[in-house]
Chains A and B, each alone.
Chain A
Amino acid sequence: MKDLKIKKEEVLKSASQMIADKEAVRSYIKGKTSLQELDKKGIKLAKPL
């Protein structure tokens, strides 16, 4: 694996994105957001089992 130096702002940006994705999916589960809207945000739901 190549040497890696991750910057704090990159982590915070990724964390913000993860929280935004989570909120969008929670809203989807409650029927307040459509699957198309998740698609537009680049959120993909998987079947990993």
Chain B
Amino acid sequence: MQNHYNYVFDVITNTYNFVTKNSILYRIAFVVDETFSTLSGEEIPNVYQLIVEKANDELEPYDAKVSKTIEDIIEKFFGRIENSLIYICSDDNQKSKQRHDIFDRWYNKSIYKENILKLDNIIHIDIGMPHPQTLYTSMMFHKDNLNSKKLISIYKQIENALNEDK
């Protein structure tokens, strides 16, 4: 039996959608991200920021098929080895570390670990919110990605820049 929900790409919203057994609609967006191109001054294509969100604020009981569905989408995403993914754990409710730890545990247990590399950076930032934000960011890409050396180099540079004042 299939362990995830069926999902479809909605051409109206430009998101991948699925509905759970509790009738909760999830939307998954891939945002074209040019951060690496901007910071490096070179064109680094096929980099996307992953955003997963419920369409409304209803609370949903734990449903294992939700994470399995997201996992399936990520697996298909890396079916194209040129794709790279940025995932930022939001700091709303100051839960970014908790979210990052869940994501990290999932990655460490996953079968993708063999082929998909994950690099992490923690960024402390004050952007005028009620409290300074701590962002847990992850970058994932296929080990055979032709841009992998560039991606690692830029990521290291970002890390170095963030450690400048330490």
Could you tell me which A residues sit within 8 Å of B by CB distance? 1-2, 4-8, 10-12, 14-22, 25-26, 28-31, 35, 43-49
Contacts and interface: CB of A to CB of B under 8 A. Distances in A.
Which applies to chain A's interface (DSSP): helix, strand, loop or mixed? helix
B48 A8 contact: no
A18 B33 contact: yes
A4 B164 CA distance: 15
Interface in B78-105: 79-80, 83, 86, 88, 90
Interface of B: 9, 13-16, 27, 29-33, 35, 38-42, 46, 48-49, 51, 53-57, 73, 76-77, 79-80, 83, 86, 88, 90, 123, 125, 127, 133, 135, 137, 149-150, 153-154, 157-158, 160-162, 164-165
Contacts of A11: 39, 123, 158, 161-162
B21 to A, nearest CB: 20
B31 A48 contact: no
Contacts of B56: 30
Given A8-B161, A11-B123, A30-B55, A2 B41 contact: yes
A29 B73 CA distance: 18
Nearest to A14: B35
12 contacts: A4-B157, A8-B164, A8-B165, A10-B39, A10-B161, A15-B123, A15-B125, A19-B88, A22-B31, A29-B55, A35-B14, A45-B29
B49 to A, nearest CB: 6
A28 to B, nearest CB: 8
A28 B15 CA distance: 11
